[in-house]
Amino acid sequence: MKFFVDTADVGKIKDLAETGMVDGVTTNPSLVAKTGRDFSEVIAEICSIVSGPVSAEVAATDAPTMIAEGRKLHNIAENVTVKVPLTVDGLKACRTLSDEGTMVNVTLCFSSAQAILAAKAGATFVSPFVGRLDDIGSNGMELIRDICEIYANHTAFKTEILVASVRHPMHVVESARLGVDVVTIPPSAIRQLYNHPLTDKGLDAFLKDWAGTGQSIL
């Protein structure tokens, strides 16, 4: 399972990339806006840090403009993945851009039916939002389970499932159990993955015992 980091904060991306856990990056207009920087410059810098797919979202809502924006975004770097919404126009743009060889991430997926449409449109990735479904009392991971089953039954579908709106470690663990292709995780949730009180307690005990020996490895 691939780990994408869900942020436009270049500093955090650099820090996490050093762990070797970052296979790609997802951004959206809200995340880029938080940086206060030029959109294209941010995407270009992220692409220079991470060799894997970097999702950059279009701002238009009609297919012709989405396609034009998508082409411009693709020209920033080879690893740019154009992000389009799961609307009729978004799917039209997805088909055109995919046919041109551009990676496309169809985002804001909230149903299995929508995931089928994304695959039919030739999406590289489909992004179901599990956290937002949980927020309204639905079970986000049930949607992931359904999409996994549907895609497994239709080998002609080449679209990868990219679990988005991840809120906590169990979203990641459940995604791994279901065999999804990618999870995109905010930096805060990535750090939660390796935090455990018994790890901290064990390390503290080891360090105290070592200090008692008066020795030094270096």
Q: Which residues are catalytic?
A: 83
Q: How far apart are CA 111 and CA 114, in angstroms?
A: 5
User: 51-80: buried (b, 16+ CB within 10 Å) or exposed (e) per residue?
Assistant: ebbbbbbbebeebeebbebbeebbebbebb
Count of CB atoms situated within 10 Å of the CB of 45: 18
Q: What is the largest CA-CA distance in the chain?
A: 70
Q: Are 31 and 57 in contact (CB under 8 A)?
A: no
